[in-house]
Amino acid sequence: MHVVLLGDSIFDNKPYVGYEDEVIVQLKDALRPQRHSATLLAVDGALIDSVPHQLKQLPDNASHLILSVGGNNVLSHMPMLNEPASSTGEVLLKMRALLDNFQQAYDKLLHRLLATELPLTLCTIYNPRFPEPMAQQVAMTALCVFNDAVLRAAFSAGVPVIDLRLVCTEDTDYANPIEPSSSGGAKIVRAMQRVLHEHDFSQKKTAVYF
């Protein structure tokens, strides 16, 4: 087994954990007793459209892909949430336009990943830990829309999902409002292990892991 991590700083969290172990180190340690390996291609700050470039570096012996991306796309739209609106309907229409763009980009990426014919696992976008209560509530509500797009993509492709919203649930799971700590990374790695060892990828059925 050679697991490849694609996406953003959810996996590429080394700059945020100091001297503690980042996600890829913890995953390699977890896989080492079975003589399995892992490669990090995810890059801090990556957007959905960045992942095809990561795929160009895919190892020849890759056996499984795990993707966590989309959070930075959503973050780029955060200023819109502070814009004035004349009605709730106007807000929803703006959200719909953003969702359509997100869905199109995500589905296009999913098509590229499925073309590799490697077992694929998707991750939802986890909830942030903003210190200001209103900002936190607004972000969590908006993320429901985009996570629905991720889940629908998984259902249509018949691939498993790690719901990071149910994995990183404590303040200590975060190194800052939007990056996983070492302990949060450990939880993410345990969820990965469950998928890798329990999921039957040949069935083309979606299951949610946490």
DSSP 3-state assignment of 89? Answer: helix
Give the pLDDT of residue 81.
67
DSSP states of 12-43 as a string? Answer: --GGGSTTS--HHHHHHHHHGGGT-EEEE---
Q: Running DSSP on this structure, what letter comes out for residue 118?
A: S
**Quick check: 127 pLDDT over 80?**
yes
User: Is residue 206 within 8 Å of residue 41, measured between CB atoms?
Assistant: no
Give the whole-angstrom CA distance, residue 184 versus residue 178: 11
User: Is residue 21 within 8 Å of residue 185, measured between CB atoms?
Assistant: yes
Q: Which domain holds residue 174?
A: 2-209
pLDDT band at 82 (very low <50, low <70, confident <90, very high): low
pTM above 0.85, yes or no: yes
Q: What is the 3-state secondary structure (H, E, C) of 159-193?
A: CCEECHHHCCCCHHHEEECCEECHHHHHHHHHHHH
- Tell me the per-residue pLDDT of 158-170, one tens digit each, with 9 for 90 and over: 999 999 999 999 9
Q: Give the count of domains, the chain.
A: 1
**Quick check: 138 pLDDT over 90?**
no
We report the CATH number of the domain holding residue 95 as 3.40.50.1110
